[in-house]
């Protein structure tokens, strides 16, 4: 068994306003308070408009729940209407930011080059990126899922120094399994997560590869998380739909119970 601490991160996407966010995080904190869940790291990734409220709650009540954003601008400031910068996120003490989620790649034309710039922007401002990679259905059916995903890893990590890459989180999210209820088998998850770890050995070193956390994402729920987490190269999950239900998310976090 690895000594990597699993990271269970809830990607709320464009759901929950700031009042709902407060109620939701309070519910999580209450449900997790009676349990030493330090062996699992818990994070929520709310919309930008919720971050200040979540920060106030987490800081004020000294909650162990971490939080982060769903995107980051490649620019630090300036005339980029609608964008949110790294300095703004680090001022809010965000621990994480997702980069290259498939919905951003699909609806906002984010390329591996953009993702690489966002990964670097996150590190520049002390935020840990969760780099999302994964293939669509066509690629999976053609049997090219591993090569496709590794190319996204290569692109996202291009010229990233080892000191930074050592703390990155990579989320393997087969696009065909996101929000579809179609979950990859634990073996599917292991195949690609294992290949990503091998790629990190080739790009950096065995030591670095062994330290990096690789999550699985795609229709994770309480009923399937334990089998997925039993795989040696899966170090947590990026959870979308199921993260909006506090009880379900808590059950996922407590997958060892």
**Where do contacts with ligand PEP occur on this chain (CB under 6 A)?**
11, 13, 173, 178-179, 217-220, 238-242
Find out whether 11 is annotated in a ligand binding site: yes
What is the C-alpha separation between 248 and 252, in angstroms, rounded? Answer: 6
Looking at the Cβ atoms of 148 and 198, the one nearer to ligand PEP is: 148
Catalytic residue positions, numbered: 101, 173
What is the C-alpha separation between 37 and 31, in angstroms, rounded? Answer: 11
Strand partners for 66:
43
Find out whether 241 is annotated in a ligand binding site: yes
State both tokens at 74.
């490649």
Looking at the Cβ atoms of 204 and 225, the one nearer to ligand PEP is: 225
Question: Which residue from 214, 215, 177 is spatially nearest to 199, judged by alpha carbons?
Answer: 214
Q: Closest approach of Cβ 55 to ligand PEP, in Å? A: 22
Residue of minimal CB distance from ligand PEP? 240
For residue 245, give the DSSP letter. Answer: S
Looking at the Cβ atoms of 149 and 219, the one nearer to ligand PEP is: 219
Q: Closest approach of Cβ 181 to ligand PEP, in Å? A: 8
What spatial distance separates the first Cα and last Cα of the chain, rounded to whole Å? 17
Residue reference for tokens 């292991």: 190
Find out whether 240 is annotated in a ligand binding site: yes
Q: Closest approach of Cβ 238 to ligand PEP, in Å? A: 5
Per the CB < 8 A criterion, the answer to whether 41 and 6 are in contact is: yes
Find out whether 219 is annotated in a ligand binding site: yes
Give the residue numbers of the binding site for substrate: 11-13, 179, 219, 240-241
């Amino acid at each position: 068994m690895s000594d990597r601490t699993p990271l269970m991160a809830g990607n709320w996407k464009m759901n929950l306003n700031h009042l709902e966010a407060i109620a939701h995080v309070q519910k999580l904190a209450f449900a997790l308070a009676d349990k030493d869940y330090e062996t699992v790291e818990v994070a929520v990734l709310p919309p930008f408009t919720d971050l200040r409220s979540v920060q106030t709650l987490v800081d004020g009540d000294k909650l162990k729940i971490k939080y982060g954003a769903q995107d980051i601008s490649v620019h630090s400031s300036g005339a980029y209407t609608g964008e949110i910068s790294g300095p703004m996120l680090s001022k809010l003490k965000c621990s994480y930011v997702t980069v290259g989620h498939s919905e951003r790649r699909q609806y906002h034309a984010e390329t591996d080059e953009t993702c690489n710039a966002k990964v670097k922007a996150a590190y520049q401002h002390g935020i840990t990126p969760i780099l999302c990679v994964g293939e669509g259905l066509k690629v999976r059916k053609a049997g090219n899922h591993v090569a496709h995903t590794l190319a996204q890893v290569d692109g996202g990590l291009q010229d990233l120094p080892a000191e930074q890459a050592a703390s990155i989180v990579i989320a393997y999210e087969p696009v065909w399994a996101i929000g579809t209820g179609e979950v990859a088998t634990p073996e599917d998850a292991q195949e690609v997560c294992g290949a990503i770890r091998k790629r990190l050995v080739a790009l950096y070193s065995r030591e670095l590869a062994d330290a990096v956390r690789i999550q699985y994402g795609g229709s994770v729920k309480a009923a399937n998380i334990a089998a997925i987490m039993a795989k040696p190269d899966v170090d947590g999950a990026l959870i979308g739909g199921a993260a909006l239900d506090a009880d379900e998310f808590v059950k996922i976090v407590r997958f060892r119970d």
